[in-house]
Structure 1
Amino acid sequence: MRNATLKQLRAVAAIVETGTVTAAARKLNVTPPAVTMQVQQLEEHLGLPLLDRAGDRFQPSAAGREVLAAVARIEQAMADCGAALDAMRGLRAGRVDVGLVSTAKYFAPAALGAFARQHPGIDVSLVVGNREEMIAALRSDAIDVAIMGRPPVDIEVDKTLIGNHPHLMIAPVDHPLIGRRVPASVLANASFLSREPGSGTRGLMEKFFQESGIEPRIAMEIGSNETIKQAVMAGLGLAFISAHTIAAEVDDGRLAILDIEGLPVVRQWFVVKRTAKRLTPPAAALAEFLGRRGAEFLPDAQSATLKKQMPKS
């Protein structure tokens, strides 16, 4: 059956339903010879007769009854697929696979939740990782879209701006540099807590220090922003980090922002898709929603304390 065509299967079903080749041809809107040819080709392929003549009408053979049962299942599957696609076009159903760089988890779930409330029939699946992992997921089409700070340059992508993404330096609340604007050179002898290689934050930190003529002393490499914040609170070092990860701790007085010349470094958040990938209507609707409303969910727009303490660029 692997090489059987839908035309052949439907020709057999139409003959059984109508009883004659002529009637089947009218039902299928083709000529009687075309119907006969489709049935003959299928019988030759299967090596079994599919129709028996009973008087002036055709009826299915034993093999024909098996084929008819398969045709019924195929037609039902096609109908179900059509209904599912209609629902997706109407944004009543479907699934979107979204990749988040780990820093985006501080605002993206709220944005995705707002989208889900507008479209309760659409399932949103999240994958969280560092920048390199999200690029790999885009390349393999494991995700529909990614929320990230720096789109890849080695694959062709379409990007939609969500909003600004500032990065700054945090310290424990009793650090001696708090309240003073100081040059980056004062950090030359400090210890830093850093994200792992492959992280977008790590790459941006290295670029900032390189431009400042500083070779930072990395005391610890930590793969979690939450752990980095706890380590800074414990006095284990300073950290270059996204402002969007620290709003709650700054508001609560558990972390402080250092006023360093050249900071904050402001990048942007984007929703990114591979150019060659055709998005389903639900995925396209989500990308449009994030571009239109995503900035509403960025933490620094909601935290008065963070806005007050964040250095001016």
Structure 2
Amino acid sequence: MNYTLHQLQVFLKVTQTESITKAAEELHLTQPAVSIQLRNFQDQFDIPLTEIVGRKLYVTEFGREIASAAEKIVDQIHAINYKTASFKGQLTGRLKISVVSTGKYVMPYFLTGFMKRHPGIELKLDVTNKAMVLNSLDENEVDFALVSILPESIQVEAIQLMENKLYLVSNKDFEFKKEKYAKEIFEQITLIFREQGSGTRLTLERFLRNNNIPVRKKMELTSNEAVKQAIIAGLGCSVMPLIGIRNELKDGYLKIIPVEDLPIVTNWNLIYLKNKRFSPVAEAFLTYLHEEKNNIIAEHFSWFGEKRVSNN
């Protein structure tokens, strides 16, 4: 056998994503390049590593065994690179963070300066829903997690980063007949919810429950972007985090409906397991946040602190 490290990395990414298209995107390669590397790697084995059923790629049982071995090899290569950089006096290693979907508008700003300061660090940033984020943290698969609602079932420590403001949002065709609406407006509109397990959905449901507000018409969509596009198209309204709709408000595609007791205000928290033993990289990031978070907020999120949000 004469497979290369590059082939191992491509095969490992294909098994993780179960998609040549997604693997190509994450590796910043073309789909044909990934397909060629996968085929060249497969040619060195008599037993199939993957199979196509319909249009979906599946990893065989043998393929998963090879993927497990490939992951160990790739990890050892990373370890060699880290040790080499360490001898040169650089802070090296992996920083692993899991982020709820709306957190993708927040977390990168708290990472950029740190990553520039320590170029020897490799970042793994996973963006998914709240349930998956907490599972990754509970299984100790990541160093930190970004959430807007603190978990009750896991013992964690938290660093409060900034506020998370949620407003009732419509498309540009909504006609404002009142300067401020009563909460009963929720009974008169089609309300779009995020999927079960979403932090935004939990916050909205808690608000409706605490105010005894029944919802007559509702639909459910599985991503923040899907909700945003549905509102723009006129399918309904939704309560959305301000952080994720700034451009759409500015361009006039979305409007904030003024409602009493809104916005709902929570906080973005970077959490980690209680009594966790940090790697040098995670420890350095924690120190960086304590020192720089106020400067980062002032530089990138000064607009977010305004008391009144305009629809213009």
Using structure 2 for the length normalisation, give the TM-score. 0.67
Distance 1:284 1:133, change over 3 A: same
SS of 2:258's equivalent?
A: strand
The CA deviation string for residues 50-89 of structure 1, in whole angstroms up to 9 with x for no partner, is xxxxxxxxxxxxxxxxxxxxxxxxxxx9xx88x839939x
Q: Distance in 2 between matches of 1:186 and 1:113?
A: 41
Q: Distance in 2 between matches of 1:308 and 1:292?
A: 29
The CA deviation string for residues 184-241 of structure 1, in whole angstroms up to 9 with x for no partner, is 1122121011100111100000011112221224532111111111111111100111
After superposition, residues 146-225 of structure 1 pair within 5 angstroms as 146-177=145-176, 180-217=179-216, 219-225=218-224
Q: Distance in 2 between matches of 1:221 and 1:291?
A: 38
Q: Contact (CA 8 Å) 1:264, 1:310: kept in 2 or not? A: no
Deviation for aligned residue 1:113: 2.1
SS of 2:283's equivalent?
A: helix
Distance 1:243 1:179, change over 3 A: farther
Letter in 2 for 1:269: W
Letter in 2 for 1:174: D
Letter in 2 for 1:158: E
Deviation for aligned residue 1:263: 0.5
Q: Contact (CA 8 Å) 1:99, 1:145: kept in 2 or not? A: yes
Letter in 2 for 1:267: T
The CA deviation string for residues 108-153 of structure 1, in whole angstroms up to 9 with x for no partner, is 1232222211111111101111111111111101111111112212
SS of 2:195's equivalent?
A: coil
Q: Contact (CA 8 Å) 2:162, 2:268: kept in 1 or not? A: yes
SS of 2:228's equivalent?
A: helix
Greater Cα offset, 104-113 or 241-250: 104-113
Residue of structure 1 equivalent to 2:256: 257
Q: Contact (CA 8 Å) 1:172, 1:233: kept in 2 or not? A: yes
Residue of structure 2 equivalent to 1:131: 130
Distance 1:184 1:292, change over 3 A: farther
C-alpha root-mean-square deviation of aligned residues, in Å?
3.0
Distance 1:178 1:139, change over 3 A: farther
Distance 1:179 1:93, change over 3 A: farther
- Larger-Rg structure: 1
Distance 1:210 1:249, change over 3 A: same
Instruction: Note the residue ranges of structure 1 that are not aligned, 5 or more in a row.
Output: 1-76
Q: Distance in 1 between matches of 2:298 and 2:228?
A: 19
Residue of structure 2 equivalent to 1:115: 114
Instruction: Note the residue ranges of structure 2 that are not aligned, 5 or more in a row.
Output: 1-75
Residue of structure 1 equivalent to 2:301: 301
Letter in 2 for 1:176: E
Letter in 2 for 1:181: K
Letter in 1 for 2:197: G
Deviation for aligned residue 1:245: 0.7
Residue of structure 2 equivalent to 1:239: 238
Q: Contact (CA 8 Å) 2:243, 2:304: kept in 1 or not? A: no
SS of 1:259's equivalent?
A: coil
SS of 2:257's equivalent?
A: strand
Deviation for aligned residue 1:292: 4.0
Q: Percent identity?
A: 29
Q: Distance in 2 between matches of 1:245 and 1:216?
A: 24
Q: Distance in 2 between matches of 1:110 and 1:286?
A: 13
Distance 1:298 1:202, change over 3 A: farther
Residue of structure 2 equivalent to 1:276: 275
Query: What is the aligned residue count?
Result: 232
Q: Distance in 1 between matches of 2:262 and 2:196?
A: 21
Deviation for aligned residue 1:168: 1.1
SS of 1:260's equivalent?
A: coil
Q: Distance in 1 between matches of 2:305 and 2:278?
A: 39
Distance 1:115 1:291, change over 3 A: same
Residue of structure 1 equivalent to 2:226: 227
Q: Distance in 2 between matches of 1:144 and 1:217?
A: 42
Residue of structure 2 equivalent to 1:47: none
